[in-house]
Every structure is written in C-alpha cells, then in structure tokens.
Structure 1
Amino acid sequence: MELERWRQVPTYSNPIELAEEWEDYGIGDPFVFRYNGMYYLYCSTQDDQIGVKAWSSADLVNWIPEGLVTKEPITKGAYAPEVVYWNGYFYMYTSPGGGGHYVLRSQSPTGPFTVQTDNLGMTIDGSVFIDDDGKWYFTHASGRGILANEMSDPYTFGPDKLIPEAYLQHWTEGSSIWKREGKYLITYTGNHVFSTGYRIQYSISDQGPLGPYRTLENNPFVISTDDKFNGLGHSSTVLGPDLDSYYLVYHNLEGASTSGPPVRKLNIDRLQFNGDRMSLLGPTFAMARPVAKMPDFSAKEVVPGSTVGWKQEQLHDKTIVMSDFKTEQAFTAEYNFHALSTDESSSHIGVVFAYENERNFMFTDVDSQSHELIVQRVNEGKMLLVGKAQIPKETDLTKLHTIRVTSANGKIKVYWDNMYRLEVDRQIAGGEIGYIYASASKFAPAMLFTAYSNDAGGSSDYETVKPVPGSIEAVHYLKDKNRGYSDSLANEHRGIAADDGSMAVVLPKAGDWLQYPIQVKQAGTYGIDLDMLPSDAETTIEIAAGAEKQRFIVAKRNKADQTWEQTRIGNMTLKEGYANLKIKVVQGSLSFKTMTFYPGDEAFSPIDNVPKGMVGMWIPVDGGYETRSHEYIKTFAGSEDWTDYRMDAEFHFPTIPTSDAGLLIRSVHESYYPHQVQDAFTGYYASVNQDGLTLKKVNYGKQEILKTVPLTIQKDTTYRMNVQVTGNRIRIYWNGSTDPVLDYQDPRAYTHGKIGLLSNHSDIIFHKVSVSK
C-alpha cells in the first residue's frame, strides 16, 4: 500500500520548462525566494534585453509567469538577480552585464523594483545573507575565492574579505550563504559557465558567515559531465513547502545561443542532511520525481468566521483564532501576519501552538514597545514565562513578519523573520495552532499564510524517496519500528558519530536490518559502495529491493585504527520504479554511514591503445601517441562503470623530463574548457617525472599525494609501467618487476572510472597502452 501511495504522487522532471522563458537563452542563474508561503523565481536577463523576469509558485513545480518585475534601463543583461525581504521592502541585487552591482527596491516581490544606488562594483553574482542577529553580509565572485562584505544597511558595503575555503582553484562564482541548525553553509560554483564540468561545492562553518569554513569530502556535491546533462551550477537554496525540507535550485547548460551567450534550463532537487554533511538527492535528469510534499495543514489567509478549518474563541479579554486540526508532538508551524494598527501605548500580537484547551497551551507574544519576542506557557490557567529574546529595534509590525516554531526532541525553537531567536528545553504534546490578541485592541493582526507540518529538524529526510543512482544516508531509514528498522534495534539504531561530523548506523548482530524508500531511474545493474568501519570478522549482508535480493560478503579488516572505508561491495540488478530497499546483516556486524548506487552494467572490453583525443593534440607515432611540452593534454577511454582492471603502458621521454606525465585510473567527470581548473576530473594519476613515480588522488584541481617512489628516469629510455587496481588497492609494477614498486591501499577509494593518459607540458611518447581484466 505504501509503494502504491508513492505511485499516485504527482511527479516532475528535470530540467523544468517554464512559460515565457527568455527566448534562445532560457533560465540561467536561478534564484528562488520564499515569502508568505509562495515561491518567487528570478533569473539572468538575456544580454541584449532590459528588465528582470519572475515566476511564482506554491509548490516549486507549477510556475506562473509574473512578467517583468522591473524595466529600469540599467537592468540590460541583468546577471544573477537575487531578492531579500526586510521589514516591508524587497531588495534586489544584480550586476547588469557583469559590470558591477546595483540595488533595486520594491514593496512587492513582483515589483516594480526601482534603482536605489549607483554602480557599486564588486564583480558579479552578489548574494545577501542576514544572520540571526540581524546583521547583513554580501558575497560575490572572484578568481581567489568568494569575497564577502559586511553591510551596515541594504545599500552600504564594507571592504572585501576573502573566504579562502570557498574556492574552486580558479574563478569561483554563484555564492550563497544560509544557516541551518546552527551551522553556516556556503554554496559556490565554477569555473566557467560553458564548461561541462561547471559544478557546485559547499563548505560549512560553526563560527560565522565569514568562516572559517571547512569543505567536506563529498565535494563537488553537484556535478554531471554527461553529454545530455552537464554544466550544473549557480544554485540557490530554499525551504520546502513542508516547512522542514530544503531544495537546491540550479541550472544546466544546453549550449550556446545563436548570438553567443549560454542557453540554460531550470532544475530543482531535494537536499538531505546528516550532521555536518549535506548531499543532493540527485542531480536527477529525465526522471519522474515526486513533487515536494506540502504542509499537513495550511491556510493562505485566515479570516475568523469565514475561513474553513478555523474557529474563534474568547478567553477573558483575549481573542484566540484556532485551527481545527492538531499537530503531532514533533512539528513545525509557520505564521505570517502584520498588525492593522500601531496607535496603542502597549500592543501585543501572539501566535499559539500546542493548544489543548483554554487552560493549557503555549504562545509566542510580540511586544511592539519593548521589541521582545516572549514565549509563555499557560498551564492549568496559570501563565508562566518560558523565554524571551529581542527582535530588531526598527521592526515595523504593520509590515508582514514571520514566526516559525519547531518542536522536536524535547526542544522548542522560535524563529523571527527566518532568524533563530531562542530555544526552550521542553517536551510538549501536539495541539492546535493559531493567533492570540487583545479583543478590544486596534492592534489585531491580519493573519496570512499559516501552516504546520508534522516534521521538524530534518525529520522529513527519513521518509522522502531516495533516487537511484544516488547516495543514501544510513541514518535516513523509514521512521517506525518494524517498518524502518528491526525490532531488536529499538535501542541501538540511533547510531554512532562518524569522522566527518555526520552520524552512522550500527547493525550489531545477525538479523538486524534497516529499510529505505527508493526510486530506481531505470532497470539495470548498479554498483554498490558502502562507507563503513572495518570489522575484524567476515560480514555477510543481504540487500533486497522488491523481488530482487542479493548477498554480499565484506572481508574482515584490521580495525585497530577505526578508519572509515569507502568500499565497493559488488553489483546488483534493480528494477525500475519505487521499492523498499532493505539492508540486513546475515552474519557478523555492520557499521556504515552511506550506501551509494551507480550504473555498473557496461561490459568491460579490452583496449589495445588509447585513442587520441579529449584535450590537446596527440600525434600518432609508431602505433603510439606523442605529446609536446608546450601543452597540458589528457585523453580518456573506457567507461565510468569499470571497476577492477589492469592498465599497461610503454613510454619514453625524448628529452629530460622537466614536468610530469603518466596514466589516469578510475577517472570520472572529466571536462575541458580553457577557463577552468586544469585537472578537471576526479580519479587517480600515476605520475612520472625525473625524480620518480608518484600516485596522486585528483579531485578537480586538488591533488593529494598518496605515495612516492624514487626512480631514475632518463631520456630516450623505454619504460614499462603496469597498474593493477582491485577494490581499494592500487599496485604499480615497473619494467616487468614481479613485485610492485608501489602498493597502496586507499581507505577512501574511488571505486570506478575510465582510464586515460595525461601529459603536463612534458615531451613523452606512449608506445603501447592496453587495458585488460
């Protein structure tokens, strides 16, 4: 029945086509802004056109054109417009033609926006973040990393401050800072919009919007270089309709327009969170994904006496307007409202939650005189102060404001205009939500979008359907016992802390299992990686999806150092569509944090020579290929599905090598464009120079040296190098040696990918290159 329910849910597919997109230009640099329960989308303007287009939506899928929200002449070719709301006004930041920023202002998200400043400079792709204390920050692009500016008001910017960790080793743009559960996250994009390897990365900070940040291992976390779907980037992040989830909005590259600028399309995929780690349920392409979940209860506007689902009660000198429906114990409630008048000496507006009856409920009161947000509890008719916090002194309560309340795990959190203001340690039951105000007051509120969902703090990540191919967080199993986890895990299934700020799950004994809802894009064979702790005993696990079921043996390891290992456990055939995926321990125990599925059905076929090709010029010479030292060039062959293989090569250097060249192993996501990072691929590089042999791990410009072996390399001498990659182990043999000169076990292995050749401005001739099992 549960799977049938998913099959009935409406779907959408990336990329999303919108009515009235810019002709021969599409949707580039999309920014989605949420206000009063609605979403507003803005995008870059076609280079020779004036104005900024916008669309609105209630569900992130069905978008209504709102036309041009500004027709100011300076908006010709307006790049990357972004909008922020503050105290009754909407502020737009854009860099027309990439020639510096302007600020525009409106009293509506659909305009008209009018220009408020001269050209402020600061490159392109400006984005505003407002912290919990009401302080503003601006970020923008550079070739050194993302630059940030502290702001004293919406129009005034301090000096540039470099965020060095937000850097893609070349031009870095499309930044956005936001905050979730006390952590600052920054997303950013690079390197060039016309590169198939245009990608999105994120970093996280515990200290503040200016950092310091740290970049987690699962980066870039959005990338695809597939011929049909590539150039993914320039994202924005927005709260989902269910008030708990978050969605990433980004574009893909379709190609060049007839006049030269890029043509791009809109994409929206759901994010998931596990502690410090953020990942995307995607990127999805041409896949019928379920639409975003809506709130469990909502009203676009609440008018006492006429809005269905709401009732009005009198409590002494107070009026309470309440919903007919009750939240569960864990919930998120949102209230959007503004005062009708401020002509009284003491004026209060409150929002109610956990309402059981007139003698037992909680409410958050807003005092317009003291500018305080006050949380109070009514217990058996007695009012008790629970907590209070300041709101900005300039707050005008006749303008729309938002209060959001979450209750989960014994904590109540209160947000004012998306700024976290206070937390209360209190376990509460569910109840009705609503508003409270003085009956005789002229300060009564206009009650606009009001809603709740029975999720809080990311709990909706558990129930959402995970796409395959893709990565599943171990902690995101279905919620209920005997539905999401076995009965014996009632105490143990909460898991353990992993090494990257995330949480992992322990299945301590045979018979323990976890279950996840998945959606397989198309039937086929998929490789499976587990990110797990080694065990000192052999472990057998069983993975089942629908009628498909398969067992895998995980070899025992020396677990003394407790190093997390990214390991390929094998292949499994899956059917297209929805299924519940169960992972069960048959023998031993299992501790893991992610399970990743990727296409693995392309048959291995031996290669007798690598064709010339992807970057630079490969000159055919005597059955091989020669390069020249004035070029950085690389070429790739085979399939990203390939896992274990042997690669053999003969080569010599016509001149004494002053730089490096060598073999690429398990390479994925390769791309090329002149204005991007040089090492635009992810994989291993067996590099040779005059000092010897080095095994490197490469991830789009970042090189990690794994192991180096000194060798004497001379010109005009033929060398033979053989690479064997099996599981997490890489062995390199030199000149026919029976023992490897380099033997490396990578616990964080790249598990699959193509083979290739690379020459970093080196004279080298590859005589023979072959690949076999």
Structure 2
Amino acid sequence: MKSLRWLIMVAVTFSLITTVPTETSAYQNPRALPDEWGQYGLGDPYVLKFNGYYYLYVSTRDTDDGVKVWSSKDLVNWSYRGLAATDPITHGAYAPEVVYWNGMFYMYTSPAGQGHYVLSSTSPTGPFNVVTGNLGKTIDGHVFIDDDGSFSFYHAGQGRIDAAPMSSPTSIGASSSTGVGMGGWTEGATVFKRNGKYYMTYTGNHVFSKGYRVDYAVSTTGPRSGYAADSLNPALISTEGPTVGLGHNTVVVGPNLDTHYIVYHNLEGPGVVGPLRHLNMDRIVWNNDKMIVQGPTTTPQQDPAMPTFYDYFDRTSIGSGWTNVNGGHWGIYNQELMWQDSIGDTTWYKQISSATSSSDYTAEFNTKEMKRGTSASPRYGATFSYTDENNYGVALLSSKNNRLATSFRINGVDQAWQTFDLPAGFDYTKWHSIRIEKSGTTFKYYVDGMLKGTRTANLGGGKIGVLTEDTHADFGYVAVSNDVNGSSAWDAYKPVPGTIEAVHYMKGGEGVAYHDTTANNIGGAYRTDAGDIRLNSEGLFNLGWNQTGEWYKYKVNVESSGYYDIDFRMATTMNGVQIRLWDGSTDVTGIIDVPNTGDWDKWQTVTKKGVYLNAGQRELRVEFVKGEADFSRMTFHKSAQVTALSDDFNDGNDNGWTRFEGTWAVENGEYSAGSSGPAKSTIGDANWADYTVEADVKMIDAGGDGGLLFRVSNPSHGTERGQNNYDAFQGYYAYLTTSGVNLGKMSYSWTFIKSAPQTYATNTWYHMKVVAQGTNIKVYVDDMNQPKIDYTDNSLNPFTHGKAGVRTANKHTHFDNFKVSP
C-alpha cells in the first residue's frame, strides 16, 4: 500500500466490549412545545444563537397574526417567550428567520407566500417592527453573512434554490440560480461555512409528501454559486415509521460550541389549516468534509453536551469561578453581565476563569464597549491558553482602529501583534462575539461568526478570561469546550441503527480509547493521538496499519435489544484476513472472512448478519486478529428474517402491496400498471437483506421500461402534488426495455449501472429473477442459469437492505407469479 505499511502478516480481530455506562439525560423526537400553534404545530423551525441563548421561530398558522418565539440554553428545554412580532403583515408568516447584525435583529418572512418583508428589533424576542415594503422573492427567505461581512439572500424556486446579493440587511438585489435543486419544487435553504467551504441544505418537494427530505450541496467558490450536490443525498429522509415528511431545517452549533445540529420538522398530517408539524433535532458529524446526519431518530438520544466551563453571570457577584489579575473595577449588572469600568491607563485588567481547557478547544466570548479612554490603544476582549502572566494569547476588539488585534506571550516574550480589519460601520457599543478555535498550534479567530484570521503559536491549553485596556466594557456569556472542529463526535453516543465512522473512536488515549502498537499516528491525519489514520480515495479518513492486538472503542446508543446486521467498510491486499465481534467475553459472530479487495483503496462492504445487541448506551470495542485490513466505517441495520412470499394475483386483489404512482389494477389474474410517468408497488420488510425476487413481466407498450425492485427503502409517491420525481425511493431497479435488460440505482435520483443488449418483444411474457447477496446482484431473464447482469456494488453507499416490488415507467406493463425467497 505505502512505504510505511508493514509487510508482515499480522492477526486481526474486531471485538465489541459491551459496557453500560451511566445513562445521560435524553431528548426524543418528535417534540411538541408549550404554546405551539394549535393543529399547526412547529413547522419550518429556525434557531438563532445569541449571547449563549437559543431562540426558536416557527411558521405562523395561516389564520393568525404574529410570530412565536421560544428560548433555551441547551436546545432541549424551551420556554415560550410570547409573540416576537404582532404586525398584521405577519398574518400566516411563513418560515420566519432572524439574524443579528451590529446591534439589530432582522426578521425575514413571507406572509402566506406573498413575497418577503423585513422586520427589525433590538431584542431577539421582539417586538419586531416592519422596516421594508414587499421585497418579493417567493418563499423561505434565508440570510447568510460571509467572513467579509457581505450578505446573501436565498429563497425557494421551481426546481432550484435562488440567491441574491444584499447591499444591506434590508436591501436585496437580483436573484440568480445557485445551481442546486431537487427536480421539483425546492425550498428551505440554510447556508453555513466550515473549513473554507460553503454548505447548503435544502428541502423538497412538497410539504405534504412523506418523501419531503433534506439534501445538501457544497461550494468552494462562493456562497451563491459553484455548488455540487453530495453523492450520498438525501442527507435526511424517512417515509415510513414513526416520523415522515422530514425537512425545512436549520443548522446550528450546539451548546458545547462544537457539535452541529440539524433542527427540522416532521409531518404529522393535515391540521385544521395547513400541515401539522413538530420539532426534531439530530446530531451532525463530520468525516473530512463529508456532512453526516446521525438520524433521523425517534428514540431517546443523548442531550446536547454543555461546555466544559460556561458563565451567564446570572448572579449578584462575580464569585469564586474567576480570579482577578491587575485590578480594575469589576462588577455584575442585573444578573446578566460582568463589567469593568476603570479607564485612564493602559493596564490590562483581567478576570481569569478557574477552569483549564485541554490542549485543543473552542472558546466563546460576548462583549460590548461602553466607553473607551483616550490612550493610543484602548481595547477589550478575550484571553485564552492562559497558564500564567508569562504564557497566554489575546484577541482584542479596537473601536478606535476598527479591527481585531491578536498577540501571544510565550515564556515571558511578547510575540508580534497581528490585526484583522472588521466591516465598515461596526458598532462596538453593541454586543459582539469572539470565538477562538485551537487545534494543535493553530488558532482561528472569529468575530460574530466571521473568520477574521488564523495564527500559529506554541501554546497548549489553559484558562480563558476577559480583559480591558483603557476601556469600560461589558462581558456576557463566556464558555470553553474541550472540542474543536467536530471532535465532540468522538465521545458522543452514536445512534444504532446508523453509521459510525471508524475514526470516531472515543477519547481517553492509549489503553482507554484504543490500543495501538506504535506511539504516533503513522498516517498523520485527522487526530493527534496514536490511532493510525489516512485520507482514502473515497474522501474519508479511515483507520489503517492495524496490527495484531490493536483495538478501538466506540460509544453507541442502541435503539432496542435485538438482532442487527453490520456492514463493515474494508480494504486489504492480503488473503486470509479475519475479523470477529465480541460482547464482553462472548464471541457473538464467530469468524468473519474479509476478502482481498485488490488494493488499499479498493473498498468493499463485508456484512455480518444476526448480531445480538443490548439496548442503551454501550461502548463497543473493535480489535484486530488475523491479517491486515484498513477500516473505514460500520453501518448497523435492524435484522429481519426473509420470509418466503408469492402472489399470482388469482384472488383478484393486491393485498399486502403498497401502491405509489401510476394506475394499478389486478386484471384477469395479472398485476397491471399503466402510467405516462413512473409507477411502483412494494411489498415485504425494509429490514430484509439477502433474497431472491422473481416475476413474469409482459411489456404492453413499446416505449418505457418495466421490471423488478429490490432493496427498497423510503419509498414515496414521487409525482403527487406536482413533485415530478421519477426516482422516489432508495434501492435498485432491474428492468426490461425492448432493446435489453438493465440495472439502475435510485436514491431520489437516478444512477444507471449496467445493461445487456437484447431484443424483447411487447405482449410477450419474460421471466425475470434477481438474486441479491451482500453487495452482489445477479439479474436473469428466462435463462435461470446464466445471469444477464452480474454486478457488485462496491460504492460508498451500497443498499444492503430493503423491500421488494415492481415498477414501470412510461409504459403499460403486466406482472404475474411474483415471488420472494430467502
């Protein structure tokens, strides 16, 4: 594979050591809230974070005026704060969103879909007053502020999301397409930036569809163009089960300052007026630049973690959590902020927190200037990585120079100042946030969410604090978390069923979180401990160089006790590699053979079926026993035994089948589908894995296609309410045309896989059979000994579980003698 890879044959074992740590507090989707709109609920949720608090806004019931708002410290416990806006213009206010800029909160909403208005307030809870006329732009307005302070406005469009530049928070320019969409109606855009890339989530195609879902796209060129949809879309979907119709989300950073959460609604059904929807939230994790939603979940999940240290100053005195350095005149105001009002000299008056961070961390500070002195450099802001007066960093706001000033003191030696300009007109008498992200020796500086600069320094962890220089300043919410750039995923309890990235093993170091026979990360990627990690050809970080006796431990939250199938993503050039799963001292799987994939970057999915897991929060340990193989991820599915079924339709009905698009009927003992578009019907269990499905197929028309569905999950009606989606399910489709047999893959989009040319006549019966074993698919027509298509899906997202069914598109097709067998 690479020069550092051992060439010796080593033993590899996977083992799951199951422990049951203390249960953490848990929330559960979906959620109703006090004072929500009756028979309308909590549709189109938007969450704003400001000064340590979260504010939730939702769409207004079509018959009412006003925009409701709730607040929370933790994204779980919400308090109703009343109507943030009451102006008649908010009658049936769709998808209200609020941004903070320079002391003012701006609300964007589209009342009953009749264009957009902007309202403003000095408080996130209002009152908001109308400050513009009708600005148009369809529905679902969203505003993104880039690192340079420029604004962009996004809104829904037919088949796409459009965007426009903004010259001010209340002025929107001409719109153009962002280049992303979902075929039919597309709405509910949210844009955020991470590691220099722009991420957009968006929803389609109709709010009343069970197939309402979230996709995402990424741009490296700018906030309004250059987007490419992710290959694994949808990012969030559920069309069957406890929650359906998931979408119109926001993405917000959780209280631990590091974890992203997706907040969205589910469709309960029609309310008195409009759809009845409720609130949902799931964790987002990252592998390299890949955004992975750990959901949807409907069972209890770990509450969002709070920071390592945080302070709202919601008391009457500063207290023992802070230590004063160099004096000054400090106090607490109204149980909501800490102040320092001594000016007239250049002493750095400091308050240093009692808590010490780890070497990597994220810190947040909220502050505003009340009065500045007349010295050359009145400043105020944050200190971090503070161990003593000889070792620390600072990030200070300077209203006099309209910039952020940064410096370090290391071993008593002051490093050079580096400054970063802030937007023109920045009002320092208003609240602003400073965010510090430290990873290794790299420090990133944000002001009001805008990345303003990056520096390096040989400082470790330490305490955080606030300081002033010749400035009367107020300080609001202050916090620090021992996570940065998504590292909170490592100790989070990941939901099972679900996918767990191999590199998301827990924290704790050698002998606790993992055992590795080398002292350093051989691949040098992603983590700074001794786990050996590299970036692979699929764009993901994976564990490599795994040696005999090495192991990695993962925190999981198992939905319910029972049997699960586990897909391991593996690559190896060696023969005879074996893995095994343990639960405590019990071997729960026996030996699992991992095939030689032919290259370290040729990945295959290896499945072990029927693994019994106990419910609740667990720690699963993965250990290597024989051979060497790279390990990328593991996906847990609920396991279900395939039960044989057959239907010759001689009873005149299709009981047990679920029809979707098209016109279906049982005619003369045959299952008939006719459609000018798609038509599908499914049967069976979404947790089925390996099986054979077969049927007789007769094409009545010359155009279009017809055939068998297998491994189907999340099916929905793709053409109702004008959605125009021919591919409304996830799974495979083996089908006939008059010119051949073909295989394709659908995930609310179409991927053609393979074909075998041959002439097939209309009004003629052909017997089709598909054998799906693991990721291998064989398609037979008439000759049941020689497959027309033999294909193994080694892609990153093979479908290994799902129902069976039949489908046709733009064709009248008959089916008979349908059969599924294990």
- TM beyond 0.5: yes
- The alignment partner of 2:387 has SS state of strand
Moved more, 6-15 or 69-78: 6-15
> What is the letter of the counterpart of residue 688 of structure 2?
W
Query: Which ranges of structure 2 fall in alignment gaps of 5 or more residues?
Result: 1-16, 328-345, 523-530
Could you tell me which residue of structure 1 aligns to residue 294 of structure 2?
Answer: 281
Deviation at 1:303, TM superposition (A): 8.8
Contact 1:567–1:751 (CA<8 Å) still a contact in 2?
no
1:714 corresponding residue in structure 2 = 761
Q: Given residue 660 of structure 1, which amino acid in structure 2 is its aligned partner?
A: D
Q: Structure 1 residues 490 and 197, CA, compared in 2 at 3 Å: closer, same or farther?
A: farther
Aligned to 2:240: 226
- Deviation, structure 1 residue 544: 3.1
Bigger relative CO (Cα 8 Å, ≥ 6 apart): 2
1:462-488: CA deviation from partner (whole Å, max 9, x where unpaired): 111111111111110012212221131
Q: Distance in 1 between matches of 2:622 and 2:643?
A: 28
1:160-239 aligned at under 5 Å gives the runs 160-164=175-179, 166-239=180-253
Contact 1:174/1:189, CA 8 A, preserved across alignment: yes
Q: State the partner residue of 2:493.
A: 465
The equivalent residue for 1:298 is 310
Give yes or no for contact 1:276–1:500 (8 Å, CA) kept in 2.
no
Which residue does the alignment assign to 1:732? 779
Match of 1:446 in 2: 474
Aligned-pair distance for 1:552? 4.5
Deviates more, 1:604-613 or 1:705-714: 604-613
Give runs of aligned pairs for residues 361-510 of structure 1, distance below 5 A.
361-438=392-469, 441=470, 443-479=471-507, 480-488=509-517, 490-491=519-520, 492=522, 493-510=531-548
Once residues 318 and 294 of structure 1 are traced to their aligned partners in structure 2, the CA distance between those partners, rounded to angstroms, is 30
Q: Cα offset for 1:257? A: 0.8
Which amino acid in 2 is paired with 1:600?
S
Deviation at 1:753, TM superposition (A): 0.9
Q: Residue 382 of structure 1: CA displacement?
A: 4.2
Alpha carbons of structure 1 residues 767 and 303: separation in structure 2 relative to 1, 3 Å = closer
Letter of the aligned partner of 1:434 in structure 2? G
Q: Which amino acid aligns with 1:368?
A: S
Q: Which residues in structure 2 correspond to 1:111-130 (within 5 Å)?
A: 111-130=126-145
How far apart in 2 are the matches of 1:114 and 1:411? 43
**Counterparts of 2:303 and 2:571 in 1: how far apart (Å)?**
35
1:692 maps to which residue?
Answer: 740
Q: Which moved more, 1:610-619 or 1:176-185?
A: 610-619
Alpha-carbon shift at residue 546 of structure 1 (Å): 4.8
TM-aligned CA distance change 1:397 to 1:511, over 3 Å? same
Which has the higher mean CA deviation after the structures are superposed, 79-88 or 3-12? 3-12
Q: Which residue of 2 aligns with 1:667?
A: 712
Question: Which position in structure 2 is the counterpart of 1:587?
Answer: 626
Q: Which residue of 1 aligns with 2:379?
A: 348
- Distance in 2 between residues matched to 1:761 and 1:490, nearest whole Å: 61
Q: What amino acid maps onto 1:633 in structure 2?
A: A
Instruction: Decide whether aligned partners of structure 1 residues 276 and 306 sit closer, same or farther in structure 2, where only a CA change above 3 A counts.
Output: closer
Residue 324 of structure 1 aligns to a residue whose secondary structure is strand
Structure 1 Cα separation of the partners of residues 19 and 780 of structure 2: 54
For residues 464-613 of structure 1, the aligned pairs below 5 Å read: 464-479=492-507, 480-488=509-517, 490-491=519-520, 492=522, 493-546=531-584, 549-560=588-599, 562-609=601-648, 611=654, 613=658
Number of residue equivalences: 764
Partner of 1:628: 674
1:602–1:639 Cα contact (<8 Å) kept: no
Residues 690, 773 of structure 2: 8 Å contact kept? yes
What is aligned with 1:325? 355
Deviations 1:684-703 (A, max 9, x none): 11121121111111111x21
The TM-score with structure 1 as length reference comes to: 0.95
Contact 2:25 2:302 in 1 (8 A): yes
Looking at structure 2, the residues matched to 387 and 4 of structure 1 have their Cα atoms a distance apart, in angstroms, of 49
Partner in structure 1 of residue 121 of structure 2: 106
Distance, in Å, in 2 between the alignment partners of 1:275 and 1:597 is: 21
Match status 1:682 vs 2:730: yes
Contact 2:709 2:731 in 1 (8 A): yes
- Residue 758 (1) aligns with residue 797 (2): no
Structure 1, residues 551-605: CA drift from partner, whole Å, max 9, x if none? 4523423414833334433331111112111122221122122211011134433
SS in 2 for 1:108: coil
2: CA distance between counterparts of 1:639 and 1:311? Answer: 62
1:311 matched to 2:317: no
Q: How does 1:42-121 map to 2 (within 5 A)?
A: 42-121=57-136
- Give distance in 1, aligned partners of 2:676 and 2:355: 72
Deviation readout 1:733-768 (Å, 9 max, x if unpaired): 221352112211221221111111112131222122
What's the counterpart of residue 332 of structure 2? Answer: none
Contact 2:609–2:639 under 8 Å retained in 1: no
Q: Answer whether contact 1:305 1:312 (CA < 8 A) is retained.
A: no
- C-alpha distance in structure 2 between counterparts of 1:141 and 1:13, whole Å: 30
* CA distance in structure 1 between the aligned counterparts of 2:206 and 2:694, rounded to whole angstroms: 35
Partner Cα separation in structure 2 for residue 367 and residue 216 of structure 1:
41
Supply the distance in 1 between the matched residues of 2:161 and 2:747 (Cα, whole angstroms): 19
TM-score of the two chains, using structure 2 as the length reference: 0.90
The farther-off stretch of 127-136 and 605-614 is: 605-614
**CA distance in 2 between partners of 1:502 and 1:314 (Å):** 49
Q: Name the CA distance, whole Å, in 1 between partners of 2:698 and 2:239.
A: 32
Cα deviation 1:245-279 (Å, max 9, x = unaligned) = 111101111110133x1100001111111111111
Q: Say whether the 8 Å CA contact 2:141–2:154 is kept in structure 1.
A: yes
Q: For 2:685, which of 613, 635, 639 is the aligned residue?
A: 639
CA contact (8 A) 2:708 2:733 kept: yes
Matched to 2:303, the amino acid is V
Greater Cα shift, 103-112 or 273-282: 273-282
**Residue type at the aligned position of 2:237:** I
SS of the residue corresponding to residue 423 of structure 1 reads strand
RMSD over aligned CA atoms reads 2.1
What is aligned with 2:166?
151
Q: What SS does the aligned partner of 2:722 have? A: coil
Are the equivalent residues in 2 in contact too, given 1:350–1:435 (CA < 8 A)? Answer: yes
- Counterpart-to-counterpart distance in 2, 1:556 and 1:459: 32
2:272 equivalent to 1:258: yes
Give the drift of 1:199.
Answer: 0.8
